[in-house]
């Protein structure tokens, strides 16, 4: 009896995925995963490279931490300053830009702060602040949150001094959108997450297109000198694929609700 239990436990412990030959662990941000693009790219990568990409969908902060600890082989994030700090601390080998998408301002359909008529992103935020309309911030130190803070800064506004209309959700993109939908509040989101979001309620896309809202994604292999066990060879193989023609075509032709989300712009190493 005890022996049977023990054997069963052993069998259960030996997970089947250990048998798959080539696996690469890639930490990506929630917003990238929510776009749905990975569901197009991953099968293609599997076909072309016989490589299974295991996605760890986390916030930017956690993605960087996973890379620092050597728990993943590469990261795909969109927060330039943090990426540069990551590189200069020696945690990654290099930074390769792959593509960009853009951030958009979402808000109540009736647009009480009249954000839709703004010329620039900064002007839009200033209107929200003047109207003191409810605004949901990610508040989780993610790439999106960092971007939002830099925009408030550019608008010469101090988020710490805002009243209760400025709500820090401390959550991922989806959860924050849920909050905004529940409160009928303004929020800044990446276009992909917004288009894929299933609980739009009375929210609508009100403002987009300012180049300052462009959101650059970059691929950073984890440094194998620091962590000899990481599969740098696979990371490089994957990178080569990501900047290739197949990836260009898949990324540029990926649409949600008829809208293009990403623009391929792979360039040289930084």
Partner 1 sequence: MTELFEGLKAAFLLLVRLDADLVEITLRSLQVTLSALVIASAIALPLGAILAVRRFRFRRATIAVLNALMGLPPVVVGLCVYVMFSRSGPFGVLGLLFTPTAMIIAQVIIIVPLIASIAHQSLRDLWAEYHDLLISLNTTQRQRIATLLWDGRRALLTASLAGFGRAIGEVGAIMVVGGNIDHATRVLTTAIALETGKGNFALALGLGFILIALAIAVNFAIHWLTRTEVEGRW
Binding stretches for partner 1 (CB under 8 A): 5, 8-9, 12-13, 15, 17-18, 25, 30, 34, 52, 54-58, 68-71, 172-175, 177-178, 181, 196-200, 227, 229
Q: To the nearest whole angstrom, how small is the minimum distance from the Cβ of residue 127 to partner 1?
A: 26
* Residue 116, SS3 per DSSP: helix
Q: To the nearest whole angstrom, how small is the minimum distance from the Cβ of residue 13 to partner 1?
A: 6
Q: To the nearest whole angstrom, how small is the minimum distance from the Cβ of residue 235 to partner 1?
A: 15
Nearer to partner 1, 60 or 196 (CB): 196
**Which residues make Cβ contacts (< 8 Å) with residue 59, sequence separation at least 6?**
29, 30, 140, 141, 142, 172
Rounded distance between C-alpha atoms, residue 150 and residue 144, angstroms:
10
CA 210 vs. chain centroid, Å, equals 19
Nearer to partner 1, 9 or 164 (CB): 9
Q: To the nearest whole angstrom, how small is the minimum distance from the Cβ of residue 203 to partner 1?
A: 11
Tally of residues, the chain = 270
Nearest by Cα to 66 from 97, 37, 91: 91
Helical pair 232-242 and 245-252, crossing angle rounded to 10 deg: 60
Nearer to partner 1, 58 or 121 (CB): 58
**Which residues make Cβ contacts (< 8 Å) with residue 50, sequence separation at least 6?**
21, 22
Q: To the nearest whole angstrom, how small is the minimum distance from the Cβ of residue 5 to partner 1?
A: 6
Nearer to partner 1, 108 or 172 (CB): 172
Q: To the nearest whole angstrom, how small is the minimum distance from the Cβ of residue 100 to partner 1?
A: 22
Nearer to partner 1, 126 or 181 (CB): 181
Nearer to partner 1, 25 or 146 (CB): 25
| Element (DSSP H or E) covering residue 102 | strand 96-108
**Which residues make Cβ contacts (< 8 Å) with residue 100, sequence separation at least 6?**
78, 214, 215, 216, 217, 262, 263, 265
């Amino acid at each position: 009896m005890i022996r049977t239990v023990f054997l069963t436990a052993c069998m259960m412990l030996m997970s089947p995925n250990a048998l798959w030959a080539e696996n690469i662990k890639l930490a990506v941000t929630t917003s990238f995963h929510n776009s749905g693009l990975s569901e197009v790219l991953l099968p293609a990568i599997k076909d072309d490279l016989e490589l299974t990409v295991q996605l760890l969908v986390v916030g930017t902060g956690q993605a960087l931490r996973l890379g620092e600890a050597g728990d993943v082989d590469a990261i795909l994030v969109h927060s330039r300053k943090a990426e540069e700090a990551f590189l200069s601390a020696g945690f990654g080998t290099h930074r390769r830009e792959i593509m960009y998408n853009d951030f958009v301002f979402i808000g109540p359909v009736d647009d009480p702060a009249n954000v839709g008529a703004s010329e620039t992103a900064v002007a839009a935020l200033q209107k929200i602040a003047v109207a003191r309309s409810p605004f949901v911030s990610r508040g989780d130190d993610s790439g999106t949150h960092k971007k939002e803070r830099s925009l408030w800064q550019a608008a010469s506004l101090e988020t710490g001094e805002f009243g209760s209309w400025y709500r820090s959700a401390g959550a991922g993109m989806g959860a924050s959108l849920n909050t905004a939908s529940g409160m009928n509040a303004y929020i800044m989101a990446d276009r992909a997450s917004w288009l894929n979001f299933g609980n739009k309620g009375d929210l609508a896309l009100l403002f987009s297109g300012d180049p300052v809202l462009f959101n650059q994604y970059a691929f950073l292999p984890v440094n194998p000198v620091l962590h000899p066990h990481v599969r740098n060879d696979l990371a490089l193989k994957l990178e080569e694929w990501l900047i290739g023609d197949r990836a260009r075509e898949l990324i540029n032709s990926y649409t949600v609700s008829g809208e293009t989300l990403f623009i391929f712009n792979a360039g040289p190493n930084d």
